[in-house]
Amino acid sequence: MNRLAPDPSDARFIRRVLIVVVIGLVLVALYRAANILILAFGATLGAIVIRSLAGLCERHLHLPRRWATVAGMATALAAILFLVWLFAVQFGTQVNQFVTALPQILQDMRAMIAGSPVGDKVIDAIEDAYAGSKIAHDIGGLVTGSAELLLNMILVIAGAFFLAADPTAYRRGALRLIPASSRPAFEDALADTTETLRLWLIAQIILMTSMGTTVGIGLWIAGVPSPAALGLLAGLSEFIPYVGPTVAMIPAFGLAATVGPGAVGGTLATYVVVRLMHTNFITPYVQKRAISIPPAITLFAIIGIGMVTGLYGLFFSAALLVVAFTLVRSLYMREVLGEPRPGA
């Protein structure tokens, strides 16, 4: 005799409450572990790059798959070491000059716009938004904890190597969490996402290289100090569309202001010409095989992801948006609404 057993309606209610509680706890856990998830996503991007390099070695050098993977890892590691060498050795003096002059540059720019009611309001709004943002706290943490940044970079690189060594095992494990009836749809969506990310990464590398080269040459012609370091910064900032290049322009104009009006005008002409050239010619040509996301969605999504997840999330926000856009296209539009599969 089960006198304390709930009736069927109460049992259903309790089960639903427990499901809601479990979902809430999972969401809280995911939010608290957001930085770890972002780093894992960064490792996934690195693994895609390594696998792409391995595919090139396998096709053109006719290497076995295992040795092609090793060659892809070695190439990726060599590229990372090359960037470190550029920052530390080749452009080390320019980077040090830029970092040393940055506080004075920001102070001079603040003095230029301060003094008027509009300028004071802009400064107050920027300071209030910066003080209350998660990105601001993350930047402060990076300044005081460079060891944490180095550890996170090592974690991303090591994770990328592990994922690239045997991606099939991780893909198979993720698909086993999906019900068997829905597994083919998710498998196609996962393949679409991987291919789209691969094409997007190739497009970004091309855009970053062309942006850094053209900006560096233009600033050198304009007589701006540290043109190579500023060009490298402009190229790397292209990984975060719209937001990154805008932020990278600030130190260039600050350094140009220390030279004179001619350098400021040359800097402005450089960025205007380079941006027009990229927007109208280079970017459409490079990204025609990758995913095309409306600019307004890209801008607000990047800012929103950065505000929620912080600095690391801001850095990978464009790639996260590509993943979300591809999954919506593959799972919802194609599998739920029955839209035709878009062409490559």
pLDDT reported for residue 90: 64
**pLDDT score recorded for residue 264:** 84
Q: Which has more pLDDT, 6 or 72?
A: 72
pTM, two decimal places: 0.75
Taking 50 as the threshold, does the pLDDT of residue 303 lie above it? Answer: yes
**In this predicted model, what pLDDT tens digit does every residue of 213-242 receive, in sequence order?**
999 999 999 888 878 888 888 888 888 887
Of residues 109 and 19, more confidence is placed in 19
Indicate the pLDDT class of residue 304, thresholds 50, 70 and 90.
confident
pLDDT over threshold 70, residue 6? no
pLDDT of residue 50: 92
Count of alpha carbons within 13 angstroms of residue 52, beta-carbon side: 17
- In angstroms, the CA 214 to CA 211 distance is 5
Cβ pair 36, 188 in contact under 8 A: no
Q: Which residue has the higher pLDDT, 52 or 2?
A: 52
Q: Helix 183-222 crosses helix 167-175 at what angle (to 10 degrees)?
A: 130
So what's the pLDDT on residue 344? 43
Q: What is the average pLDDT across 49-77? A: 89
How many Å apart are CA 333 and CA 68, to the nearest integer? 36
For residue 242, the model assigns a pLDDT of: 77
C-beta of residue 123 within 8 angstroms of C-beta of residue 113:
yes
| More reliable by pLDDT, 129 or 93 | 93
Share of the chain above pLDDT 70, in %: 77
Mean pLDDT of 191-201: 89
CB count within 10 Å of CB 234 equals: 27
Ranges of H-type helices in the chain: 8-32, 34-60, 65-85, 92-113, 117-131, 134-144, 146-165, 167-175, 183-222, 227-237, 243-257, 261-277, 283-286, 295-309, 311-315, 317-327
13 has a pLDDT exceeding 60? yes
The DSSP output letter for 2 is -
Largest CA distance in the chain: 93
Cβ-Cβ contacts under 8 Å for 131 (sequence gap 6 or more):
none
Residue 215 is predicted with a pLDDT of 92
Which pLDDT tens digit goes with each residue over 282-293?
Answer: 877 777 766 777
- Asked whether the beta carbons of 65 and 58 are under 8 A apart, the reply is yes
- For residue 7, the model assigns a pLDDT of 67
For residue 105, pLDDT over 70 is answered with no
Q: What tokens appear for 31 in the block?
A: 């939010």
Average pLDDT over residues 127-141: 51
* 131 phi/psi in degrees, rounded to 5: -65, -30
pLDDT tens digits, one per residue of 17-54: 888 898 888 888 777 777 788 888 989 999 999 998 89
